[in-house]
Chains A and B, each alone.
Chain A
Amino acid sequence: MRAINKNWSIMTGNEAVALATKLAGVKFVSAYPITPQTAIVEKIAEMVANEKMDAKFIEVESEHSAMASVMGSELAGVRSFTASSSHGILYMHEMLNWVAGMRLPILMAVVNRSIGPPWNIWADHSDTMTQRDTGWMQLYGESNQEAMDTIILGYKLAENKDILLPIMVMQDAFTLSHTSEPVEIRDEEKVREFVGEFNLPFKIDINKPMGYGSLMPPDGPFMELKMDMKKSMYSGVNKFIEITKEFNETFDANFPGPVEGFMMDDADYALITLGSISSTAKHVVRNLRNQGKKVGLLRILLYRPFPKDLVINYLRGLKGFGVVDRSSTYGPFGSLYMDVISSIYGKLDIPAANFIAGLGGRDVRVVDFEEMFMRIMEGEDGEIWINAGVK
């Protein structure tokens, strides 16, 4: 990390995440290596070894065990972190559900990568999209700055006593994880104050022995606990807005919050995106605006809980829109598209296309976004695969 001045540095997304865990006062890290996340784990191990980070780091033998061990450490009342990608996320699927049900505010950085076969290590959201219903909150970042900031915001959100849910913090493979960008390093003292002390209300205490996750029959409060989880998660949208405001005031920052509307105010047509391809989309929006076309972009940062009311407000008044899914899931349409359409059902009646783009790290180019805007302006809908055909 090469310092530009006191607060700025040039760093990769992986480095930004690793540094953020130190700033946030993470005390226990357990992880398993997988490309392209490995550099996060290496950086944390290095910081711990050089006493630059006051934490315990263990390298476990699988992602399933990585998640099981941070479950143990959080139950013992220690702020914990792990990171993974791709097949690692799938391998821990069982534990993802378990720690969410245990209401443990664990943070996990995910460097989004495709799912094989065939083997492919490049950017694609299929890994976390397939885990969208595990009870984890999900935040998709666009830049290395957001890779750092979402960790800091994430701990404050996750550990809030009304929330107590784990959060996945996403960045795209290589585009962010291995690409250096200027990042403003948040002041450590202020971060500690902002995030606060971790105080799990039900942490392991021999003076208060209890069962954690014990058997619950159908007439036990099983269903009520699931209902409470959903309620807590969806109270997270407004909580995230509040926390974003406090973050921006504390750090003189410009973090967008659950969604970011870009040139949406008077737009007739818009695209909805997640992650780093949004930057290319914004470039295209500017170009088309210069040609007099009233287009905009809606970027979703907070995908779980899905901020449906905010989305409805942004889409109201549009003549058409398109949703870009960068994942291969096998419902009738892409996952993001289905979330958007079900959110506006009965409220807005607007033609909407579902673009599938950028799978397995395929570049989503300026011409691709131009094509997407062209097609929604022509009133197309249904599922459309972009820059994909016989190769």
Chain B
Amino acid sequence: MPFSIPKEEYMMSGHTACAGCGATLAMRYVMKAMGENTVVTVPASCWAVIPGNYPNTALKVPFIYTPFASTGATISGIREALDEEGKEDYNVVGFAGDGGTADIGLQALSAAMERGHNVFYIMYDNEAYMNTGIQRSSSTPFGAWTTTTPVGKDRVYKRENKKVVADLMMAQKVPYVATASIAFPEDLIRKIQNAKKIKGPKFIQILSPCPPGWYFNAENTVKIARLAVETRIFPLYEYAEGKFVLYKNPNPLPVEKYLEIQGRFNHLSPEEIRTIQENVNRRWEELLEREKGKVIP
């Protein structure tokens, strides 16, 4: 049977996101996979603004706004209370950006996963604090320009590697961990459907390109998300109850293809691009080893 994307829409038009916003595609696909029995919690983030001003909302499900650090804890309370009420069939979803996940929300996330609540935590990763105007997060990749890692006389663009939260979640042995992309919606939706089969904590990190933050034209959002996978910059994998599967593209493109159409990487020297390529190659080898079971997360 051919796989198709569910027709139902839970995210309506008329939201306030920028043109070409990857995070809105992420929400739209996630909600298609979740269905109507879903409660979504968002911390401070672009997604705290996208649904629109009171009394409007672009979502057809209960949508709870919580302070920056507290997504993991808020969904824990919602889940346990809904179970007390006999509403085990509700999907309880946290939907947070990379700052709210990798930085200020990491403690609450890690603790919620450790306590084992039956929740989904979706990290939409646009690789910086975009809602406040493009500041570096620990999920910002090496080499990227942001307003707090500027390219001035001192060329102090980000020199540290990206913290990959999905990898941390595997190290913590969260029952379901996956990376996904808005350029591969069937894969994204299938992963959420797989995650639904697991009663316990689920973590999915979705790369969500940001036109104003990454400096590219709005029509290129999906193309850039696809290039991130095709260059192996953002590998897609699934880790379900201890079994790790890596999506393999046999003919990877060089990282330049991904970097060159984003203004945030404009300043990089050939040597720095080589460093990025080497890091990507090394990480790919590590992931292959992990798939063979040689690296036990």
Point out the residue from B52, B62, B78, B85 that lies within 8 Å of A206, measured CB to CB: B62
When chains A and B are docked, how far (Å) is the Cα of A66 from the Cα of B38?
Answer: 23
Q: Closest A-chain residue to B87, C-beta based?
A: A76
Interface residues contributed by chain B, number (CB under 8 Å): 44
Q: Mark A193-229, 1 if CB is under 8 A from B, else 0.
A: 0000000000011101111111111001100000000
Q: Mark A296-325, 1 if CB is under 8 A from B, else 0.
A: 000000000000000000000000000000
In the bound complex, do residue A76 and residue B53 qualify as a contact, i.e. CB atoms below 8 Å apart? no
Contacts A64-B73, A69-B76 given; indicate if A210 touches B38 (C-beta within 8 A): no
In the bound complex, do residue A73 and residue B78 qualify as a contact, i.e. CB atoms below 8 Å apart? yes
Point out the residue from A68, A215, A217 that lies within 8 Å of B67, measured CB to CB: A68
Point out the residue from B70, B82, B90, B111 that lies within 8 Å of A95, measured CB to CB: B70
In the bound complex, do residue B65 and residue A212 qualify as a contact, i.e. CB atoms below 8 Å apart? yes
Report which residue of A215, A217, A220 has the largest number of chain B beta carbons within 10 angstroms of its beta carbon. Answer: A215
The residues of B that contact A220 with a CB separation of less than 8 Å are: 53-54
Point out the residue from A75, A76, A209, A215 that lies within 8 Å of B60, measured CB to CB: A209
When chains A and B are docked, how far (Å) is the Cα of A60 from the Cα of B60?
Answer: 31
When chains A and B are docked, how far (Å) is the Cα of A243 from the Cα of B195?
Answer: 49
Q: Closest A-chain residue to B61, C-beta based?
A: A209
When chains A and B are docked, how far (Å) is the Cα of A309 from the Cα of B39?
Answer: 44
The residues of B that contact A208 with a CB separation of less than 8 Å are: 62
The residues of B that contact A204 with a CB separation of less than 8 Å are: 39, 62, 64, 78, 82
Contacts A68-B73, A95-B67, A215-B49 given; indicate if A58 touches B54 (C-beta within 8 A): no
In the bound complex, do residue B51 and residue A205 qualify as a contact, i.e. CB atoms below 8 Å apart? no
When chains A and B are docked, how far (Å) is the Cα of A94 from the Cα of B70?
Answer: 10
The residues of A that contact B147 with a CB separation of less than 8 Å are: none
When chains A and B are docked, how far (Å) is the Cα of A250 from the Cα of B69?
Answer: 43
When chains A and B are docked, how far (Å) is the Cα of A286 from the Cα of B36?
Answer: 66
Q: Which of B40-88 contact A (CB under 8 A)?
A: 41, 48-49, 51-54, 57, 59-67, 69-70, 72-85, 87
When chains A and B are docked, how far (Å) is the Cα of A61 from the Cα of B90?
Answer: 25
When chains A and B are docked, how far (Å) is the Cα of A212 from the Cα of B74?
Answer: 13
Interface: A72 (CB within 8 A): yes
In the bound complex, do residue A78 and residue B57 qualify as a contact, i.e. CB atoms below 8 Å apart? no
Rounded to whole Å, the gap between the CB of B10 and the closest CB of chain A is 9
Interface: B107 (CB within 8 A): yes
Report which residue of B38, B49, B63, B75 has the largest number of chain A beta carbons within 10 angstroms of its beta carbon. Answer: B63
Rounded to whole Å, the gap between the CB of A223 and the closest CB of chain B is 13
Interface: B17 (CB within 8 A): no
The residues of A that contact B107 with a CB separation of less than 8 Å are: 61-62, 65
In the bound complex, do residue B77 and residue A28 qualify as a contact, i.e. CB atoms below 8 Å apart? yes
In the bound complex, do residue B54 and residue A65 qualify as a contact, i.e. CB atoms below 8 Å apart? no
When chains A and B are docked, how far (Å) is the Cα of A98 from the Cα of B73?
Answer: 14
Point out the residue from A60, A66, A73, A215 that lies within 8 Å of B53, measured CB to CB: A215
Contacts A95-B67, A211-B54 given; indicate if A73 touches B108 (C-beta within 8 A): no
Interface: A71 (CB within 8 A): yes
Q: Mark B16-48, 1 if CB is under 8 A from A, else 0.
A: 000000000000000000001111010000001
Contacts A56-B83, A58-B80, A216-B53 given; indicate if A210 touches B63 (C-beta within 8 A): yes
The residues of B that contact A28 with a CB separation of less than 8 Å are: 77, 80-81, 84
When chains A and B are docked, how far (Å) is the Cα of A155 from the Cα of B50?
Answer: 36
In the bound complex, do residue A68 and residue B63 qualify as a contact, i.e. CB atoms below 8 Å apart? no
Point out the residue from B36, B54, B73, B90 that lies within 8 Å of A69, measured CB to CB: B73
In the bound complex, do residue A65 and residue B62 qualify as a contact, i.e. CB atoms below 8 Å apart? no
Interface: A80 (CB within 8 A): yes
In the bound complex, do residue A71 and residue B52 qualify as a contact, i.e. CB atoms below 8 Å apart? no
Contacts A28-B77, A204-B39, A210-B57 given; indicate if A76 touches B82 (C-beta within 8 A): yes
When chains A and B are docked, how far (Å) is the Cα of A61 from the Cα of B110?
Answer: 9
Report which residue of B72, B73, B111 has the largest number of chain A beta carbons within 10 angstroms of its beta carbon. Answer: B73
The residues of A that contact B197 with a CB separation of less than 8 Å are: none
The residues of B that contact A56 with a CB separation of less than 8 Å are: 80-81, 83-84
Q: Mark A68-89, 1 if CB is under 8 A from B, else 0.
A: 1111111111101000000000
Rounded to whole Å, the gap between the CB of B132 and the closest CB of chain A is 14
Interface: A30 (CB within 8 A): yes
When chains A and B are docked, how far (Å) is the Cα of A236 from the Cα of B156?
Answer: 56
When chains A and B are docked, how far (Å) is the Cα of A62 from the Cα of B110?
Answer: 12
In the bound complex, do residue A210 and residue B72 qualify as a contact, i.e. CB atoms below 8 Å apart? no
Point out the residue from B59, B75, B77, B79 that lies within 8 Å of A70, measured CB to CB: B77
Interface: B115 (CB within 8 A): yes
The residues of B that contact A69 with a CB separation of less than 8 Å are: 73-74, 76-77, 80
- The chain A residues found within 8 Å of chain B, CB to CB, are 27-28, 30, 56, 58, 60-62, 64-66, 68-78, 80, 94-95, 98, 204-206, 208-217, 220-221
| Extra contacts besides A65-B111, A68-B70, A72-B79 (13): CB < 8 Å | A30-B76, A56-B83, A60-B111, A64-B69, A68-B69, A72-B75, A73-B81, A77-B81, A206-B38, A206-B39, A206-B90, A210-B62, A216-B54
- The chain B residues found within 8 Å of chain A, CB to CB, are 36-39, 41, 48-49, 51-54, 57, 59-67, 69-70, 72-85, 87, 90, 107-108, 110-111, 115
A-B contact pairs, 28 of them (CB 8 A): A27-B81, A30-B77, A56-B81, A58-B80, A58-B115, A60-B111, A61-B107, A61-B108, A64-B70, A65-B72, A65-B108, A73-B77, A73-B78, A76-B78, A80-B77, A80-B81, A205-B62, A206-B38, A208-B62, A209-B62, A210-B57, A211-B64, A212-B65, A213-B64, A214-B63, A214-B65, A215-B52, A220-B53
Interface pairs A-B: 9 shortest CB-CB? A72-B77, A69-B77, A65-B73, A68-B70, A76-B81, A73-B81, A61-B111, A68-B73, A213-B65
